[in-house]
Amino acid sequence: MNVQTFINEHPFSPFQWLIFAMCFVIVLLDGFDTAAIGFIAPSLVAEWKISRPALAPVLSAALFGLAAGALLSGPLSDKLGRRAMLLSSVLLFGVACLASSFSADLTQLTALRFVTGLGLGAAMPNAVTMMSEFCPDRRRATLINLMFCGFPLGAAFGGFLAAWMIPHFGWRSVLLLGGIAPLVLSVLLIATMPESVRYMVAKARPVEKIRATLARISSEAMQAGSFFMTEAAPTVAGQSGMSVVLSRSYIVGSVMLWIAYFMGLVIFYASINWMPILLKESGLAPQTATLISALFPLGGVGAVLCGVLMDKFNANRIIAVCYALTAVSVYLIGQAVGNVGLLVLVVFLAGVLMNTAQSSMPALAAAFYPTQGRGTGVAWMLGIGRFGGIAGSFLVAELTRLHFSFGGIFATVAVAGLVSAVALLIKQAAHPQTAMTKDLKAAGPVGH
């Protein structure tokens, strides 16, 4: 039995929706915990009497951890399995975020944010890969984008919660919640999260395990005596995920994915980490500044429509257009600061475009690579891209040190969106046949 054909031919089952729900919550908590530090930053400045530039290390500490966690977890996922990496990463970022709520000074908080980032960085790509390998081909981009909406929703939810929790319970309560929730989720994951069936076939795991997992989609799987799969993306000689990602067949596309995601996160983290402070200094009340800033990540719900378009049309070009429009809208944020009503509209519009593009990138990467390198390919795009978040945090710190105006800061940040758009057009030119291939082109069966 061809496992992907089996998944394609059967309705999306309650079992697959359960996997989707667990991966969605993982990504949502990832967004909440990643963005939390930006929302508590004004409170840190006030309580610990520190300058704005001194915030840069703690704002970027989790991002260094996110990058390291993703880069390490990708090859481990292709070697040890998706399930083991998901479980361990959720436990790690839950424990570390919980511990960070008890930090006594900036040094302790910075170190614990790095450890939190290690777990977050490993969780996201493995959730994307796991979901991708349980999706039918015709709905893969839509479902992954829908799942990935959890990240901006979690970040926005964190903003709204922070605006309410900090005045009532203090900034530590935000981190406390960000640690307890994933620990509760990990119990459910241990009990119900399966291993990826495509991974089990690729690694020649026992037929009984594959059959038992697929039977939860449809009992017809019990009739199969053996399993194999075909790949939509070309396979590469060698078994390691890195050999696929860096091979001649994939290297140009890999680098363009890295650049596009990197530049997207320059925009995202420059905005999410610094917008509350910049809006407050432009004259808005702290609570108003936090609420307006929270609109930016909320815009990620637009990724669902983008996923539908990606499943029907050329995904590279669709996301490139979103990035180009992001550049325009981010520039306009800097021009709207004097008008609160216009500012609310422009921040939300920029968030819709920015997060639609960024949330669509994991689905693009998952479709680009074959199973043997999918875990590494998705993880390395997310991991290398995280350095864009670090660059975005330090970029705004440097621009404020150089006394750039509010408009000048956002005009500079907007350039990154144009770079992302160009990178995806180059990927399309180099790999015109791999843009969300909807029909399997067998490169020989894999299985036993």
Instruction: Please name each of the domains of the chain with its CATH number.
Output: 3-447 (1.20.1250.20)
- Degrees to nearest 5, angle at CA 76 with 385 and 431: 50
CA–CA gap between residue 241 and residue 256 (Å, rounded): 18
Q: What's the confidence (pLDDT) of residue 98?
A: 92
Q: What's the confidence (pLDDT) of residue 186?
A: 93
Q: What's the confidence (pLDDT) of residue 240?
A: 66
Q: What's the confidence (pLDDT) of residue 423?
A: 94
Cβ count near 369 (within 10 Å): 30
Q: What's the confidence (pLDDT) of residue 442?
A: 37
CA–CA gap between residue 392 and residue 401 (Å, rounded): 14
Closest-CA residue to 294 (of 310, 324, 271, 314): 271
Contact 96, 116 (CB under 8 A): yes
**Contacts (Cβ under 8 Å, ≥6 apart) of 109:** 44, 58, 100, 103
Buried b (16+ CB within 10 A) or exposed e, 311-325: beeebbbbbbbbbbb
Residue-wise pLDDT tens digits, 208-261: 898 999 999 988 888 888 888 776 655 555 566 677 888 888 889 889 999 999
**Contacts (Cβ under 8 Å, ≥6 apart) of 254:** 245, 246, 377, 380, 381
| CA-CA-CA-CA torsion sign (359, 362, 363, 368) | positive
Q: What's the confidence (pLDDT) of residue 437?
A: 42
Q: What's the confidence (pLDDT) of residue 33?
A: 80
Q: What's the confidence (pLDDT) of residue 298?
A: 67
Q: What's the confidence (pLDDT) of residue 445?
A: 43
CA–CA gap between residue 151 and residue 171 (Å, rounded): 21
Dihedrals φ, ψ of 152, to 5°?
A: -65, -35
CA–CA gap between residue 293 and residue 307 (Å, rounded): 25
> What's the DSSP call for residue 442?
-
Token pair of 369 as six digits: 């690579």
Q: Tokens 């390291």 appear where?
A: 68
Per-10-residue mean pLDDT, the chain, length 448 = 88 93 90 79 78 75 84 84 91 92 86 91 88 86 84 79 84 88 93 89 86 90 83 60 79 92 90 78 74 71 74 86 92 82 85 85 85 84 85 84 83 92 91 52 42
CA–CA gap between residue 342 and residue 339 (Å, rounded): 5
